[in-house]
Amino acid sequence: MSPGGAAVLLSWLSWCGSAVWRYTTNSPDYRIFSSRSTIRLVYEGTSFSEWTVPENCYVHDKSSPVTDLRCSAPGVYTLKPIVTGPEEEEERYLLLVDSSVCFMWYYTVENYFDNLTQIVTVWVYDPENADPKEVQWIATEPSLNSKILTKQLAALGQKPRIYTLLGRESYFPESILQEGVWTIQLPMTKTDVIKELKGNQVAFEDCFVSPLPFLLSFPFSTVPETPGYLPITSPAGSPLMSVSSTCIPSFAVLVSDMETFQTNDSFHTWTRVRVDPKILSDSERHSVSSVTLAGQGIFFLINGAVYLMSVNQLKKLQGDHGIPDNGIVGIKSRRWCGINTFFKNQKNRSTMAAWTNSEVYLGYASLKFARITTSAELKSFLNLPPSDILTIENLEYTVHPLELTVLLYHVCAACVDKKVYILIYNEQSSQWVTQDFELEISLDTFLVSRSLFSAMPDLVLWDKHRVYYCYQNFTLTGTIQTSTGEENLSVLSSGSNIHDVYVDYYGNIIVKMENNVMFYFKINIRDAVKLHFWMSETTKSLFFFSDSYHAYLVYVFDNGTVQPQDYPLNLEVQSVTYKSQDKCPYMAFHNNVFRVIYFLDKGENLSIWSQIVYPENTGLHTIVETYGPKVLAIAQDSHYEIALGYCTKTLSVTFTQIAQYELKPDYFKQQQKDSGLLVVQLRPSEYSKTCPIAQKVFEIAVGCNSNKAIRVKGFSGTECKHRDFSYVIHRSYLRKEPLRNLKVRYDWGKYGCPLRVDFREKFQPVIQVSDENGVYGDVDVNFIVWEIHGRDDYTFNSTMKQSGCLNEAQTWKTMMEMNENLPLDMVWGPENYRPCFSYAIGKPGDLSQPYEILNISNKNHLVWPTDHVGMYVFRAKVLDPNFSFCNLTAIFAVETIGVIPKPNVYLVAAFLFILMLVFFTILVLSYFHYQRIYRQYIYEPLHKPQNKQKKN
């Protein structure tokens, strides 16, 4: 936090009662906390005397409640304020490391909607010598110090790049360094949002630049504030409520009993969400009991009805949306970010859920809801007596993108307590599964559930005083205890109730009480520690995810404003566990899993490794856990080595799809049985609260990747003139020879540019396979082609015998006869393909027929007719049943050239008649012409005699 921000926050918090003290740095998220860092100490209260100053440290003013601390050497330093009065302030143990990372990246973003791009301006800054605007992250250009530093690093070879973790794309500056900044252009995206800004390994004065993880997505707009609109709030005295966007945690909503706030940049800036006073009554505006975010906007639960706030309009969802207009007791959206679509032809996934005491509804992107169950159906599923009461209490989406958990209360007629059941629902299969979990609580106790970031459907539940855990697929259940064995956290919090439980992607779990006392534990850990006081007990606050998925706090002030503040969770955990034996048992835990999801098709495999380094004789290893259908063969291999008292153990794991589908009579059912989503996690066999990362979670989707497709090599949609035209196919060139010629409109947008081929050339299409990363290989298995408009005036150069067939091979003619009622593109495919290379398959026949199956390795080609040219629009289909779960087809067009068209017989006859007529006419005319000449010489003397002249 900046000095100005700390002063504003301190001035407000000093009126909040009990005294606390904390520390801040200029580095966001406390990312750089070393012997080079300046640590600002802040005391809030009226009893301050002075600061204790450790050895090797210097305090600017030890008698000031706000001062700066510098330590010259790395180590663990004990700090606390000395106060007047009988009570002492708690001490902290701050770990300062000797780090060579001193500088950080800074970026600004400009959005260009005309071409859907974003220009990221990047420079390097030193947090210890930065401008206050850079520290507060509101700078629009580098300070003078940052310009000089950036130019120095650029001269040494520094150059940034932005790497996307999901799409695995890298973007580099478009030009050289100008004005002390680089500019990088990226496309706007709503999916590939997790990015990292990093550069070359270049040092300046022995200092490197820290990589910066951040989120960058398509710009999300907040609801504008409209004059005359009124606040929408929770009931007076209610604790704060919040919700963050599933994959964009910087986009969040916070509901208080004064205002509702919205942000798209982690509350660096924010707006108030207000509504038209004509829509809701005053009591309804102050009755928000739950809030959630989905793609359509902000959803509020008010007096049992769901309202949608989109742009600047609030509307009530009713029966036409498939949801009751009253009686709703809860709404919930997804907590963990995952890939939106991974299988072709899969069911739509829900974006949110709503429930009454007796019904569960799932909402979809179309803003339609569907009821999936009732309490009566669940009572029958659990085999409970009809007279018993079964109530739906809570619902939570798990990490598995197709599953959600439902929390149920069961009360029998003579019971003094109620039983808690947990069921899991799978959206794809519509199946319910009962978990091995039962808990009895009093009738006046109500539980809230929260899923943990784990491959298993792990949960924590809590009431007002206790937290219950469900780990490792419900094989470990119980109640969280403190080091003293106390389960009731209210006893250790001056009687305060549990306000909220914060969970993150690193396995951290923070239990926040209403008076801001906090307890901490990690996933798979069954005891909690009490954290240091960080804020006054009367301060209204709540935890959120930052852009880098770290915890930060947001304070809500009585004047209707909010203020974010970074929270050093790891440093605070190290401090409270410093004197205990709670040490991380391993030194390092690494793996090569860099994606959120991997796709495996038929016959493919995935190999990963995990490595753990630990002190000798500790006996640690990596545990691989999977959750989902058993659709993959898993092989493990481990080896280790020992050096200098440390053991390095490496585990290699290979996941393989090995099923065979050739000659399967139930091909499609077998495919469906062998496909599914597997969630995998790698975790150390032992770890503690001080370990940085508890486990690595990723998904393996076995089935048809929605981005997988085939294309024909050499065909393009841009290398020809873009125009649609029509042509006529003579009826004799069509299957079954219809009565009329067929007129076809060539759709360039669908067929692309036709390939022009000389009729004397044999042609074999080369099929390429691609996914979201582009073309990655050629199809080397059998495939077929057919002309989509019904042409059959082409053949193949190889016969069945030449291709090695032992029995008669399948042909289009035989397959059409076997499947008369099916369209042409469905009569032949991998589901009914039968090879001809075995005597046991098929039957003998005429092997001199053309072999109509193509393969990149055989010599079979298409042969064109020699008596006419034509336009052919083909569709290719992969025929091998063991190649892919997808029905892979591609369309391409071929135009044959080089043939003189056959002349028309009537045209030839007319031409010959005219030619003969001209000939005879010339002959007759020449006869008369020569006759006239010869007649002159016959009847007239050749030499006329000269007459003699008479003399007078």
Count of domains forming the chain: 7
**Does an H or E element contain 140, and which?**
none
Q: Following DSSP, what letter does each residue of 174-243 receive, concatenated?
A: SSS-BTTBEEEEEE--SS--EEEEE-----BTTBEEEPEEEE--SPPPPPPP-TT-EE--PPTTPPPEEE
Residues 406 and 419 in one domain: yes
pLDDT surpasses 50 at 12: no
The token duo for 558 is: 């009585």
Residues 341 and 422 in one domain: yes
d(CA 142, CA 163): 22
501, part of any domain: no
Q: How far is CA 664 from CA 346, 632, 659, 667, 670, in A?
A: 23, 19, 11, 5, 8
Residues 679 and 784 in one domain: no
Q: Are 616 and 646 in contact (CB under 8 A)?
A: yes
Average the pLDDT over each of 628-632, 833-837, 898-902 and give the range with the smallest value.
Answer: 898-902
Nearest Cα neighbor of 631 from 577, 703, 575, 576 is: 703
850, part of any domain: yes
pLDDT surpasses 50 at 950: no
pLDDT tens-digit series, residues 353-397 = 999 999 999 999 889 999 999 999 999 999 999 889 999 999 999
Residues 90 and 123 in one domain: no
461, part of any domain: no
112, part of any domain: yes
657, part of any domain: yes
Residues 309 and 362 in one domain: no
494, part of any domain: no
Q: How far is CA 566 from CA 533, 573, 695, in A?
A: 15, 15, 24
Residues 854 and 887 in one domain: yes
**End of a domain among 96, 121, 155?**
96
pLDDT tens-digit series, residues 26-46 = 998 899 999 999 999 999 988
Give pLDDT, residue 937. Answer: 63
Q: Are 435 and 423 in contact (CB under 8 A)?
A: yes
pLDDT surpasses 80 at 16: no
945, part of any domain: no
Residues 330 and 195 in one domain: no
pLDDT tens-digit series, residues 526-553 = 999 999 999 999 999 999 988 777 899 9
Q: Which residue segment(s) compose the domain that 265 sits in?
A: 229-316
Q: What's the pLDDT band for 11 if we cut at 50, 70, 90?
A: very low
d(CA 368, CA 322): 6
The token duo for 851 is: 């072999």
Give pLDDT, residue 10. Answer: 42
Residues 651 and 607 in one domain: yes
Give pLDDT, residue 475. Answer: 93
Give pLDDT, residue 6. Answer: 46
pLDDT surpasses 60 at 901: no
End-to-end CA distance of the chain: 153
Give pLDDT, residue 784. Answer: 96
Tell which wins on pLDDT, 438 or 117: 117
User: What's the rounded mean pLDDT across residues 432-453?
Assistant: 93
pLDDT surpasses 80 at 340: no
The token duo for 153 is: 């690093």
Residues 295 and 371 in one domain: no
**Can you give the pTM of this predicted structure?**
0.87
The token duo for 71 is: 């330590």
CATH number at residue 161: 2.60.40
Identity of the highest mean pLDDT range in 309-318, 441-450, 923-932? 441-450
Instruction: Give the list of residues 6+ apart from residue 489 with CB closer than 8 angstroms, or none.
Output: 465, 466, 467, 480, 482, 498, 511, 513, 519, 528
**End of a domain among 189, 215, 241?**
215
pLDDT tens-digit series, residues 66-85 = 999 999 899 999 999 999 88
Q: What's the pLDDT band for 942 if we cut at 50, 70, 90?
A: low
**Averaged pLDDT of the chain:** 89
Q: Are 96 and 81 in contact (CB under 8 A)?
A: no
Tell which wins on pLDDT, 651 or 191: 651
Q: Are 190 and 177 in contact (CB under 8 A)?
A: no
Residues 721 and 862 in one domain: yes
Instruction: Give the list of residues 6+ apart from residue 92 with CB closer than 8 angstroms, or none.
Output: 23, 78, 79, 80, 532, 572, 575
Identify the residue whose tokens are 């004397």.
760
Q: Are 606 and 700 in contact (CB under 8 A)?
A: yes
**End of a domain among 388, 417, 446?**
446
Residues 87 and 115 in one domain: no
483, part of any domain: no
% of the chain with per-residue pLDDT over 90: 68
Give pLDDT, residue 271. Answer: 94
Residues 131 and 63 in one domain: no
Q: Are 222 and 257 in contact (CB under 8 A)?
A: no
